[in-house]
Amino acid sequence: MDTQQLMDFVRGPGLQFAAAVFVLGMVYRMLHLILLGRKKNLAEPRGGEWGPGLRTIWHRSIQSVGLTPRGHFIIIVGYVFHFGFLITLLFLSQHIDLLRTLLRFGWPALPPGLITIAAILTIGAMIALLVHRFTDPVKRLISDYQDYLTWTLTFLPLLTGIMLKQGIGLGYQQMLIVHITTVELLLIAIPFTKLAHMLTTFSARWYNGAIAGYKGVKV
Amino acid sequence: MSPPSNNLKDIPIYTQAEEAYSVGNIRALLAEIAARLEKLDENGETGMIDLNSLPFSPGEYEQLRQILGQGEVSARIEAIGPSEIIETHYPGVWWVTHYNVEGDIVADMIEIARLPEIIKSQPEDVHAGLERLKAQLNE
Amino acid sequence: MMDHETLGERLAQQGVSRRAFLKFCTAMASLMALPPGTATAIAEALIKARRPSVIWLSFQECTGCTESLTRSYSPTLESLIFDMISLDYHHTLQAASGTAAEAARETAMKENYGKYLVVVDGSIPIGNPGYGAHGGVSFVDHLQQTVKGAAAIIAVGTCAAFGGIPNAKPNPTGAVSVSDLIKDKPIINISGCPPIPAVITGVLAHYLTFGELPELDELGRPKSFYGQTIHDRCYRRPFYDQGKFAKSFDDEGARNGWCMFELGCKGPTTHNACATTKWNGGTSFPIESGHGCLGCSEPHFWDAGSFYTPLSAPTVNIATIAAGAAVAGAGIAVALGVADRAKKRRAQQAHEKMTVKDL
Amino acid sequence: MSTSLNRGIQAMIEQIDAPMATFFSSCVHCGLCADACLFYTETQDPKYTPIHKLAPMRRVWQQEFTFWGKLLSKLGLSKPVTDAELAEWEPLVYDSCTLCGRCSMVCPVGNDIAYMVRKMREGMVASGHAPDGLKEATRRSIELGSPMGVTINTLKAHIKHAEQETGLVVPLDQEGADYLLVLSSAEIANFSEIIPAVTRIFHQARVSWTMASDGFEATNSGIQIGSSDLAAELVNRIVKAAERLKVKYVISPECGHAYTALRWEGPNLIGRRYPFEVVHIIELLDQLRSAGRLRTEGMDDTRMTFHDPCQMVRRGGVIDQPRNLLNMVAPNFVEMPDAGIQNWCCGGGGGVSANPRADELRLKVFSRKKSQLDAIKVSTVVTSCSNCRSMLEEGLEHNHMDLNVIGLTELIAEHLAPAEK
């Protein structure tokens, strides 16, 4: 298989496979969780579930109360990572091209220079979080192999993406193949690892808010 | 409604004015010319820059011509097509353009030298010319 | 035809001056992307070079490659190149035909055994020999017979180099490239559909000048021409770097000459010299004419999805397969969900009410 | 049948529901919950990280409810949960978690960790890994009627005393009353002032109320130890008494987990809705206040603060009511840092106070409450949970802090305006 065929594979069947696994995995994962169900609450409610549930989905993103410097570090660096990642993913013109073919609509891109800054910040944040995972006693205790695996799988697309964009390392085509391949590996891994939190966090927050809202706790 | 035209010339054509993009090659090129000229000035070292290998945007080439301008010397060679040698506004910087018989550019160079190599008479040609002259004399 | 005088002798006979030859060598050096100062050295070498015998074989091809070479922008140079070689067999160009032509080929092979060059254009069908034959000899056999005594093979055009359009899916003739068949000879691929004529002449000149093939990339192409991508040397590259893209062929961006990545330009993945050598006597090249690069000098360019799909976008339908996957995912979830509930029910049924005695 | 590992695992399987599976799926191991847990902040020992306390149950979920987990355990690549492991986790699940739910408030992915610890305790007790102190308390609750061994006779003695003190009748087993008051044994045993206080307030506000001789204990050790079966039995006593006396409301006393047990868990434990409503005493007092039926006179100039019981705020939704009441009598009331929904636990909730093994740790982590109180320099701490009150008193004494601790109902009763003629 030569470079061109490899390229055709990762843009074609490879992507189809990864996308299929991703969609299948995510639908399965979400539905499987929901189908487990929960008991009907017989206590007299003091408030609704939907309002506080939905509010918590949003509100959990903007609150950071009573944290120590350690907590602030996790929150701030976590923010930089998530925002940087999303900006890089959603606002690089080449990514929009890809999404446009899938969604049939697009949106304006951000200047590449800005994306590069975002990607570098994201990479920096990821490295900082990895170092923190190694050095913080709490994180070291609760981490398992999956934390390092998912870190690597998330890091590689960023790294290869920026190498591709800046012309570092291999030629454009080889780098593009490597970049797309790392993305496909990530897509395949998401549903079956903690990365599934990209969707489950919404239902988790909803449950959290709903449980509190039912009791009339203002969230 | 006018009848459809069958003549190609009837189709209106308008051309877009070519803007000079700032590709950034010109500055780099001028800097290299300056560096080579400095060497020529210091120890007589000559140099050549092949313009064919540089990605010019439309208009940039013309821009370079304007910047370098035309100096005191210009020469023309007729050898399997014409060649044009111009000393630019900067003495020692020559613009050498080789054409084929059909008038297409086959080589385009900036030469930094007191005299471009191609203008000099080649020893073999001198030798052949001498033979011819001798033959003339002996006739 | 089979004379072996040096090029210098031949030029002198024709009355070409040394200055004119130096000019030619300057053009050659420029072609081969060699440092301009090497023109003199090239002249020195070429003048002493003996003209090699060249056999040109055409297989599944459209003659575009030959057209590209013979319509080369510098007929004078081309004629010079043909002066440098002894073209002993070429379907399209030779006067001889039939057995006389084949006899010429065989003579050339015998007299120059181990020294002659074979130029191939077109791919070779191996599905069924009936797809192509010369005088009753299948293309495969013809090629294999002819290259036996060759010093090197030059595969001209994407068909000969990589299989090209005949090799495109579903490849009805089983077309393959020269390098798929011949493993024991040096092969130089000059890909492109058609290849840049200057590259063909440049490679011949290089072989004559240095007596060896130029440095090749992993696909067997001369690095001096294929070492960089169209994108690397494209004058529109700054727009790519600034994120300025034409979104359609008639929008403001297209009029401003912005990058055509989003219109499917394959420049970033295509290795060729179009952006600097240009076409039609240095007039322009596809991108300068307002169309993205098709990637014709790369293997399988015909099967790499639409010419108008951006490189970063998929070449295949994702939505349908994703919808199917969603249904499958839902099915699995329901099946496993039912199993989970059964498991919970079993646990509940097995539940023994806890009493203080258990504590 | 006795407790066993298998029974424990089965209990966990029973407990795992969609929210819990979603929470486990969402955890990204960010470690932020540690910052919200006073057992971690005050000891800096990583094993007290809230999500870590659930590690064995997480594995049960993985092995029983996830595709890969099932596969891995079939292949023998996922080690099963062992008795030794549960024994090792017992102090983490019981001694170092008060079910305060502060971690549930900070988890960025929204995991309700306290919800999960509560469920995990079901498996712990079923597998025989509950602390002896809690087992004893539960046994006393079931067998004697109260975790502290308070009997109806003890209560009757206090009632008699209150009647003498107030000159009012303390109604017992009065059918047809609107409200049934239940008390926590800590109140009866240690803070019996509550009985005359309530009697006087209800008299002034003309509340029709009663107590029940067969359902006076509000605390529920079953909830704390994590046995729904035993918790249901305890809740049922109150439900039966309320139904016998045909009351419209049951008043949950100043006790955090009793409120959770009666108000939120009770109907789910007995599997049916109540024919009455449950109202917390502070909720009721605030209702009376806004209806103009609760009138006070005089002010207490002392600089005082309010300690929010976790089960009242984060887990109960009663936040503004105590402040409304305090505003009636306490002009120098100040909030402590992190007051309200984010308040720090006293350290003794969720059964920790009934577990002597945890005493040392509990007093150590009281340093959080100490620094909160030090920051605002108050002389009185008001609260609305008798367990918090005991823990505060103990903690203050341990730290040689001279602060007065008082229940909110008592504070109101002290300032009650004379009854209208």
- List pLDDT tens digits, range D240-263: 999 999 999 999 999 999 999 999
CA dist., res. C160 & res. C176, Å (int): 8
On whether both D123 and D150 belong to a single domain, the answer is no
Q: Where are the alpha helices (DSSP H) in D167-247?
A: 185-190, 194-205, 221-225, 228-245
The subunits that touch chain B, with at least 3 C-beta pairs less than 8 Å apart, are: C
| Start-to-end C-alpha separation, chain B | 79
* Residue B11: DSSP 8-state: S
On whether both D233 and D204 belong to a single domain, the answer is yes
CA dist., res. B131 & res. B123, Å (int): 12
Selecting from A74, A136, A215 the residue whose C-beta is nearest the C-beta of D264 gives A215
- List pLDDT tens digits, range D274-304: 999 999 999 999 999 999 999 999 899 999 9
- DSSP three-state, residue C38: helix
Domain hosting B116: range is 25-138
- Classify residue B109: in a domain, yes or no: yes
Which residue type sits at A41? N
Whether B8 shows a pLDDT value over 70: the answer reads no
Selecting from D13, D227, D229 the residue whose C-beta is nearest the C-beta of C343 gives D13
- CB of D238 closer than 8 Å to CB of D204: no
- List pLDDT tens digits, range C91-102: 877 878 888 888
Residue A99 in contact with partner chain D when CB distance is under 8 A: no
CA dist., res. C236 & res. C246, Å (int): 11
CB contact under 8 A, A5 and C299: yes
The subunits that touch chain D, with at least 3 C-beta pairs less than 8 Å apart, are: A, C
- Classify residue B116: in a domain, yes or no: yes
- DSSP three-state, residue C357: helix
CA dist., res. D385 & res. D101, Å (int): 16
Which among C100, C163, C96, C98 has a CA at the least distance from the CA of C127? C163
Whether B20 shows a pLDDT value over 70: the answer reads no
Chain C residue nearest residue A100, CA to CA: C313
On whether both D126 and D184 belong to a single domain, the answer is no
CA dist., res. C210 & res. C36, Å (int): 16
Q: How do strand D209-210 and strand D179-181 relate by DSSP bridges?
A: parallel
The mean-pLDDT minimum among A189-193, C282-286, D127-131, D372-376 falls in C282-286
Whether B5 shows a pLDDT value over 60: the answer reads no
- Give the model's pLDDT for residue C1: 38
Across the range B104-115, mean pLDDT stands at 89
CA dist., res. D116 & res. D121, Å (int): 9
Which among D221, D255, D258 has a CA at the least distance from the CA of D143? D221
CA dist., res. C290 & res. C260, Å (int): 8
- Classify residue A58: in a domain, yes or no: no
- List pLDDT tens digits, range A4-18: 889 889 999 999 999
- Give the model's pLDDT for residue A64: 66
Residue where a domain stops, chosen among D99, D130, D161: D130
Q: Residue B53: how many CA atoms within 13 Å on its side-chain side? A: 21
Domain hosting A17: range is 3-30+69-214
User: What residues in C contact D225, CB-CB < 8 Å?
Assistant: 359
pLDDT band (50, 70, 90) for residue B27 = confident
Residue D71 in contact with partner chain A when CB distance is under 8 A: no
Residue D13 in contact with partner chain A when CB distance is under 8 A: no
* Domain CATH for A138: 1.20.950.20
Across the range D118-141, mean pLDDT stands at 95
Q: Which residue has the higher pLDDT, A191 or C50?
A: A191
Phi and psi dihedrals of C306, rounded to 5?
-60, 145
User: pTM for the full model?
Assistant: 0.87
CA-atom Rg of chain A in angstroms:
20
A143 token code pair? 């981490």
- Give the model's pLDDT for residue C17: 85
- CB of C356 closer than 8 Å to CB of A51: no
On whether both D113 and D213 belong to a single domain, the answer is no
- Give the model's pLDDT for residue C75: 44
Total domains in chain B come to 1
Chain B residue nearest residue C80, CA to CA: B80
Surface of C (296-335) touching A: CB under 8 A = 298-301, 303-305, 309-319, 321-322, 324-326, 328-330, 332-334
- List pLDDT tens digits, range D406-421: 999 999 999 998 866 5
pLDDT band (50, 70, 90) for residue A20 = very high
Selecting from A47, A74, A209 the residue whose C-beta is nearest the C-beta of D32 gives A74
- Classify residue B17: in a domain, yes or no: no
Selecting from D1, D143, D225 the residue whose C-beta is nearest the C-beta of C352 gives D1
On whether both D31 and D78 belong to a single domain, the answer is yes
- Give the model's pLDDT for residue B17: 44
- Classify residue B49: in a domain, yes or no: yes
On whether both D31 and D100 belong to a single domain, the answer is yes
- Give the model's pLDDT for residue C4: 59
CA dist., res. D7 & res. C359, Å (int): 13
Say if residue B72 is exposed, middle or buried (CB neighbours under 10 Å; 0-12, 13-18, 19+): exposed
- Classify residue D320: in a domain, yes or no: yes
Phi-psi map region of C291: left, alpha, beta (phi>0 left; psi -120 to 50 alpha): beta
Total domains in chain D come to 3
- Classify residue B78: in a domain, yes or no: yes
Handedness of CA C177, C182, C183, C186 (dihedral sign): negative
* Domain CATH for B48: 3.30.1370.140
Phi and psi dihedrals of C279, rounded to 5?
-120, 165
Unique residue bearing structure tokens 């992190």 = D338
- Give the model's pLDDT for residue C333: 94
The subunits that touch chain A, with at least 3 C-beta pairs less than 8 Å apart, are: C, D
Surface of D (104-123) touching A: CB under 8 A = 104-112, 115
Element (H, E) at D160: helix D152-166
CB contact under 8 A, D31 and A138: yes
The mean-pLDDT minimum among A159-163, B100-104, D250-254, D396-400 falls in B100-104
- CB of D180 closer than 8 Å to CB of D251: yes
Q: Each residue of D402-420: b (16+ CB within 10 Å) or e?
A: ebebbbbbbbbbeebeeee
Q: Where are the alpha helices (DSSP H) in chain B?
A: 25-43, 60-68, 123-138
Which residue type sits at D252? S
Phi-psi map region of C322: left, alpha, beta (phi>0 left; psi -120 to 50 alpha): alpha
Across the range A95-114, mean pLDDT stands at 92
Q: Which residue has the higher pLDDT, C33 or D212?
A: D212
Domain hosting D256: range is 134-290
Across the range A137-166, mean pLDDT stands at 95
CB contact under 8 A, D314 and A217: yes
Unique residue bearing structure tokens 């013109």 = A93
- Give the model's pLDDT for residue A152: 97
- CB of C204 closer than 8 Å to CB of C85: yes
- CB of C122 closer than 8 Å to CB of C156: no
Q: Each residue of D165-187: b (16+ CB within 10 Å) or e?
A: ebebebbeebeebebbbbbbbbb
On whether both D283 and D347 belong to a single domain, the answer is no
Q: Which residue has the higher pLDDT, B88 or C2?
A: B88
CA C348 to chain centre: 70
Element (H, E) at B48: strand B47-50
- Classify residue B103: in a domain, yes or no: yes
- Give the model's pLDDT for residue D246: 97
Which among C245, C187, C249 has a CA at the least distance from the CA of C214? C187
ipTM, 2 decimals? 0.84
- Classify residue B92: in a domain, yes or no: yes
Chain B residue nearest residue C47, CA to CA: B124
Residue where a domain stops, chosen among D95, D130, D165: D130
On whether both D170 and D255 belong to a single domain, the answer is yes
CB contact under 8 A, D230 and C352: no
- Classify residue B11: in a domain, yes or no: no
Interface residue of D20, D22, D42 to substitute, partner A, most A CBs within 10 Å: D22
- Give the model's pLDDT for residue D1: 53
User: What residues in D contact C343, CB-CB < 8 Å?
Assistant: 13, 64-65
Average pLDDT, chain A: 93
CA dist., res. B76 & res. B50, Å (int): 19
DSSP string, A106-167: --PPPPHHHHHHHHHHHHHHHHHHHHHHHH-HHHHHH--HHHHHHHHHHHHHHHHHHHHHHT
Whether B1 shows a pLDDT value over 60: the answer reads no
- CB of D133 closer than 8 Å to CB of D357: yes
For D90-210, list the strands marked E by DSSP: 179-181, 209-210
- Give the model's pLDDT for residue C80: 59
Which among A85, A215, A208 has a CA at the least distance from the CA of D33? A208
Residue D342 in contact with partner chain C when CB distance is under 8 A: no
B41 token code pair? 């000035």
On whether both D52 and D152 belong to a single domain, the answer is no
Selecting from A41, A67, A138 the residue whose C-beta is nearest the C-beta of D46 gives A138
- List pLDDT tens digits, range B41-57: 999 999 989 887 777 77
Below-70 pLDDT ranges, chain C: 1-5, 71-83, 281
Residue C277 in contact with partner chain B when CB distance is under 8 A: yes
On whether both D259 and D332 belong to a single domain, the answer is no
